[in-house]
């Protein structure tokens, strides 16, 4: 059953529909919340995650599958919950030092990774590498400003387009685009070491 139908069923009183919906998106939503909060506030990830689902339950009557998918709707709620917590926590936006590089490859799309790597059967070394890269990426994400981090995660984890991103965050298209661009710039600069390795021929 699609996510929208499960949510509607739950709104009608079907608790089992909620269980199925929750099981389907628990991990992704929790990772999103945790990564958006960043490492300094990782301890509050569970609390914010629970708050997110509470908001979803409370808004079940008003859910209407119009245009945006349930996942988009839920990720937006999670984003708002996390941002609220970030604001209340008084965490300073860390501009971070993403390296001296200015991220000049923003205009250079690097989509060769899909073709260069055999992802269907990754080797142990590949997995380790990517795990390390992922670890580094998390640290780089922590150094991003909250708004840029949110824009990057919504764009890459949730698959939201720039237009969708702008709508969900209540931003102008150009503003959302700028945030995403800056986020990529900084992340690429922070991940330079790993990205350079990827560029090196095997």
Partner 1 sequence: MTELRDARLKEALAHAPDAHMTPDARTRAAIRAMAGRAVAPAAPRPVRSAGALWWQRLWHAAGNSRGPWGAALATVVLATLVTVLWRDEEIPVARTADAPMATVPAARSAQPPSVAVPSTDAPAAVPRTAAPAPAPALKPAPVEKAAQPEPAHAPRPEESPPQTYAKKAESEARDKAAPAPVPAPVQQAPTQEAQGTVMADVQPPKREDERRRSAERSRSDSAVASAAPPVGSSAPAAAAPALPVAPVAPGVAPPARPPVAFAVPARPVAPAEAGAAAARASVPAPDLSAFDIWAQARISLDGRVSVISPGGHGALVAQLRTVANQARVAGAMAGPIVVRIELLRGDELLGTLAVGEASVQWTSRRGGTDVSFSGVVPAQQVAQLLEEVRRAR
- Over the window 60 to 79, marking each residue x when it contacts partner 1 by CB under 8 A and - when it does not, the resulting string is x-------------------
Q: How far is the CB of 118 from partner 1 (least distance, A)?
A: 12
Instruction: Report the length, in residues, of the chain.
Output: 202
Which of these segments, 77-85, 94-102, 167-175, 178-186, binds partner 1 (CB under 8 A)? 178-186
HSE-CB at 157 with a 13 A cutoff on CA atoms is 25
| 137 lies in the site for partner 1, by CB under 8 A | yes
Q: How many whole angstroms separate alpha carbon 167 and alpha carbon 16?
A: 31
Contact segment (CB under 8 A) with partner 1 among 67-75, 78-86, 88-96, 174-182 equals 174-182
Sequence-distant (6+) residues with CB within 8 A of 187 are 98, 137, 140, 141, 144, 152
Contact 175, 79 (CB under 8 A): no
Report the residue from 43, 97, 102, 134 that binds partner 1 according to the rule CB under 8 A.
134
Q: From residue 109 to residue 128, what is the string marking binding to partner 1 with x (rule CB under 8 A)?
A: xxx-xx--x-x-------x-
Q: From the list 150, 154, 166, 180, which residue makes contact with partner 1 (rule: CB under 8 A)? A: 180
Q: Which two tokens stand for residue 175?
A: 């503003």
């Amino acid at each position: 059953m699609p996510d929208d139908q499960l949510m509607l069923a739950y709104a009608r009183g079907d608790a089992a529909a909620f269980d199925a919906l929750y099981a389907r998106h628990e991990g992704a939503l929790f990772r999103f919340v945790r990564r958006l909060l960043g490492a300094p506030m990782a301890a509050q990830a569970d609390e914010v995650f629970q708050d997110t689902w509470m908001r979803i339950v409370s808004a079940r009557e008003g859910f209407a599958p119009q245009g945006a998918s349930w996942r988009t709707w839920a990720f937006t709620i999670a984003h708002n919950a996390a941002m609220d917590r970030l604001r209340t926590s008084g965490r300073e936006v860390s501009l971070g030092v993403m390296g001296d590089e200015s991220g000049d490859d923003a205009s250079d799309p690097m989509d060769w990774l899909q073709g260069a790597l055999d992802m269907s059967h990754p080797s142990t070394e590949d997995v380790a590498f990517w795990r390390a890269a992922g670890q580094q990426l998390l640290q780089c994400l922590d150094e991003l400003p909250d708004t840029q981090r949110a824009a990057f995660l919504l764009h890459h984890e949730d698959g939201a387009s720039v237009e969708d991103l702008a709508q969900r965050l209540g931003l102008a298209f150009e503003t959302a685009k700028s945030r995403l661009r800056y986020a990529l710039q900084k992340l690429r600069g922070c991940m330079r070491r790993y990205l350079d390795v990827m560029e090196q021929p095997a």
